A = this chain, B = another copy of it.
Amino acid sequence: MEHQTRFTVLNLELPPAPKSLGVYTPFLIDGNHIYISGHLPINSDGTLQRGKIGKDMDQEEGKLAARQVGLTIISTLIANLGSLNRIKRVIKVFGMVNATTDFEKQPYIINGCSELFVEIFGREQGIGVRSAFGVGSLPENVPVEIEAIFELAD
C-alpha cells in the first residue's frame, strides 16, 4: 500500500505544522534527503505538551508524547511535500528524552514515534537507525524532542 493511502486509512488527527521558534527551517531538502529539525509534541489545538518524565509524567505518557512528536513531523512532511508518497523511507530517528537523571527507558519512550512511522511507512520503509538518550532540559520543558532524516522517492 502507498504511504499516503496507509496514512489516510489510519485516520490520524494531525497537529498544525510547527512554526520555527528561532532562525531555522523545520524542513530542508538536500539531494535525495529530507532533514527534519528537532520537533516538539504539538497538540491538535496548537498547544505544546509539557513536563519531565519521571517527575511530571510516567513512561506511558512519555511514549504518547513521542508519538505526538511523530505526528508533528508527519504534519511538517505533508505541509512541505504535499504527499507522503514522495518519501521512500526513514533513514534516521534521533530521540531526545527530557527525564530525571535516573531514567533508563529512553528507547521505550522513542518507540512511540518509531511505531507510528511503522504504521504509516510499513516495516520495510519505516524503520531506520536511531539514538535515544536523556537530555538535561528541553525547549519549553517539553518531554520529548525528535529530529529525523528521510529519503526522498525518485
Flag if B102 contacts A137 (CB, 8 Å).
yes
Q: Is A106's CB within 8 Å of the partner chain B?
A: yes
Q: Could you give, for residues 99-119 of chain A, a 1 whenever the CB lies within 8 Å of some chain B CB and a 0 otherwise?
A: 111111111101100110110
A69: chain B residues within 8 A (beta carbon): none
Residue of B nearest to A25 (CB): B127
A122: chain B residues within 8 A (beta carbon): none
Of the listed residues A103, A117, A128, A133, the one surrounded by the most CB atoms of chain B closer than 10 A to its CB is A133
Q: Is A92's CB within 8 Å of the partner chain B?
A: yes
A23: chain B residues within 8 A (beta carbon): 111, 114-115, 117-118, 127, 130
Q: Is A134's CB within 8 Å of the partner chain B?
A: yes
